[in-house]
Amino acid sequence: MTSSGALIQPSHSSATSELPMLDDTIGDSFDRTVAAHHDRDALVDRGSGRRWTYSELAVDVDVVASGLLGLGVGKGVEAARNLLRE
């Protein structure tokens, strides 16, 4: 679905830099982090005290990605969301 790349084609761009580019995606990096730290806290909402482990966050990421795919967001489509802080 998302980070596993089942429905999304990985993409990256080339750039000039003194440092070599990594040949993986944000999803690849996220998958490695989930595998290594699946039961550790990934996010904590201090206001409510709600906590997400990396495994729980991965499930929510897949839900959001599936929704975006269902709306037609895919390869070549830019999508962004700006959330206001209260």
Structural domain boundaries, residue 59: 39-71
Distance of alpha carbon 31 from the chain centroid: 9
C-alpha separations of 37 from 21, 41, 57, 74, 76 in Å: 25, 8, 11, 29, 31
CA dist 35 → 32, 77, 85 (Å): 5, 29, 31
Does 12 reside within a domain? Answer: no
Number of domains in the chain: 1
Tell whether the model's pLDDT for residue 80 goes beyond 80.
no
Kindly state whether residue 52 falls inside one of the protein's structural domains: yes
- 62 inside domain: yes
Q: Is the pLDDT of residue 2 over 70?
A: no
**20-57 confidence digits (pLDDT tens):** 777 888 889 999 999 999 999 999 999 999 999 999 99
For residue range 59-73, list pLDDT tens digits in order. 999 999 899 999 999
- The reply to whether 15 falls in a domain is no
How much is the mean pLDDT over the chain?
Answer: 84
